[in-house]
């Protein structure tokens, strides 16, 4: 098909796929972590910890808020781009689309997913938002039918749980977590090679984008790969 895909894996475990498209007007970026709703049992320092349903979905929401309480969505809008995220059973993804300022959007995406910050106030605020979201899904016949079937097929497993968790479990795993944490580390705790993939597709110059990603990772993100998460999760 004549597709050109540039692939590299960085020493910190991040896998990068660059797919240049000369006939594209838009550029899309997505970063995906192998951390979804079924991942409620997590190894921390070699010890398995059990966390409530919806913990991946809650983290997805929280990463859109920086340490100052500002919304990353607004920062993407200021760059003239769109941004979103989603959580599935096995992964969490964060993405953007833009027609300009590609490197600035990549930097913002990496910044957003590299660090999370928690306060009692923001955890409580996000719990209310997710509880409302869960209530909305509970009013959907299709959604109820789908998860009702899963509950019958896979009882007493994480597959039987709603991806967002329950109104009671929403954000429960983060209660007591105050301050910044390394979100990359959280997304795959105790993994020797973190399963995190960054894909950029669209109109861009590959060497320029490659150099820029390496610069951002080495100077601004890599330093955030710490063991701080263990003191919260241990």
Q: Which residues are catalytic?
A: 60
* Pairwise CA distance, residues 173 & 130, whole Å: 14
- Report how far apart, in Å, the C-alpha atoms of 44 and of each of 187, 193, 232 are: 12, 15, 10
Assess contact for 108 and 221: CB atoms under 8 A: no
**Cβ count near 171 (within 10 Å):** 27
Region of 156 please: left (phi>0), alpha (psi -120 to 50) or beta.
Answer: left
What distance in Å separates the CA atoms of residue 170 and residue 64, rounded to the nearest whole number?
16
């Amino acid at each position: 098909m004549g597709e050109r895909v540039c692939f590299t894996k960085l020493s910190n475990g991040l896998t990068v796929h660059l797919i240049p498209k000369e006939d594209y007007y838009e550029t899309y970026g997505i970063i995906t972590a192998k951390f979804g709703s079924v991942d409620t049992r997590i190894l921390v320092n070699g010890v398995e910890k059990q966390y409530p349903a919806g913990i991946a979905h809650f983290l997805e929401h929280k990463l859109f808020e920086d340490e100052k309480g500002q919304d990353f969505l607004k920062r993407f809008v200021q760059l003239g781009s769109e941004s979103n995220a989603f959580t599935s059973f096995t992964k969490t993804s964060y993405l953007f689309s833009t027609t300009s300022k590609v490197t600035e959007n990549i930097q913002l995406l990496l910044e957003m997913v590299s660090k999370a910050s928690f306060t009692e106030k923001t955890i409580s605020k996000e719990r209310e938002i997710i509880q409302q979201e869960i209530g909305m899904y509970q009013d959907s016949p299709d959604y109820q039918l789908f998860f009702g079937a899963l509950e019958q097929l896979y009882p007493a497993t994480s597959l039987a749980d709603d991806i967002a968790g329950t109104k009671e479990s929403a954000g429960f795993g983060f209660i007591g977590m105050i301050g910044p944490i390394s979100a990359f580390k959280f997304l795959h705790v105790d993994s020797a090679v973190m399963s995190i993939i960054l894909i950029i597709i669209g109109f861009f110059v590959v060497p320029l984008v490659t150099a820029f990603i390496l610069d951002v990772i080495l100077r601004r993100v890599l330093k955030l790969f710490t063991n701080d998460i263990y003191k919260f999760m241990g």
